[in-house]
Amino acid sequence: MLERDAMRWLQLTYKVPSEPSQKRVWVWRRLQNLGAFALQNSVYLLPYSEEVEKHFRQLAHDIREMGGEASIFFVMALDSADERRILQTLVEARTNEYNTVVKVCTRFLGKAAAVVETQNWHEQVHAEFAEVLEKVHVLFRTAKRHDMLGSLTASRRAAAAESLAVCEQIFRVLLDQEYTRARRLLEIHSDLLPDPANIEHGDAGSSLVGAPDDLQEPPPLHR
């Protein structure tokens, strides 16, 4: 996937006043939210797209408004190995975020299978399922916000979206305690379920929120 002809990149180079420090932090957070690659201090890269250009232009404008300096360049890598390394780093970071969504959804569906097995839907289970579903929505929105890579991450983005959609559907069915229908849905989407040995039958009420690392926003992308 990453073997390709030389591609165009956008490079944002900037300088902001040293004080107040909040300005530097604000710019840094904006770049992290774009999933940009830190080539050097205050030098960030992303593969070119109209969307990236729009975001970089807005950010450059904001930096100048706060009294700083910013420049945007089209660049191309002279060393294809460097380009592959940077692109691989970006793709892996975004893939890991989408994989986290799928992982949490897999746990969610495994617990749903346990609920169907025991037919033991109650308020605590309802609350825990609703909480995890809300948090996985946040994870997915965050992953998409960081993702400026288009077709390079399309398959993992689609897999995460599918997993989330199935979780939503199962949750709605369980709200009505339609266990037979829920079982059929789980059978249809059995490829999204965890290994049967890891499904805790008879323990449907155990906490779904017991994996805080999966529910946190990932650390920033470093060089």
Residue 84 has pLDDT above 70, yes or no: yes
Tell me if 170 sits within 8 A of 162, measured CB to CB.
Answer: no
Percent of the chain with pLDDT over 70: 85
Res. 66: pLDDT tops 80: yes
Q: Which DSSP letter does residue 219 get? A: P
pLDDT at 223: 47
Rounded average pLDDT over 11-21: 92
pLDDT tens digits along 111-153: 999 999 999 999 999 999 999 999 999 999 999 999 999 999 9
Phi, psi of 16, rounded to the nearest 5 degrees? -120, 155
Q: What count of residues does the chain have?
A: 223
Summarize the confidence of residues 54-67 as an average pLDDT: 97
Cis preceding-peptide flag for 20 (omega within 30 of 0)? yes
Sign of dihedral through CA atoms 31, 35, 38, 44? negative
Structure tokens at 129: 């399922």
If 0-12 CB within 10 Å is exposed, 13-18 middle and 19+ buried, where does residue 67 land? exposed
β-strands 9-15, 43-47 pairing? antiparallel
* Lowest-pLDDT range of 37-46, 87-96, 182-191, 198-207: 198-207
CA distance 6 to 84: 10
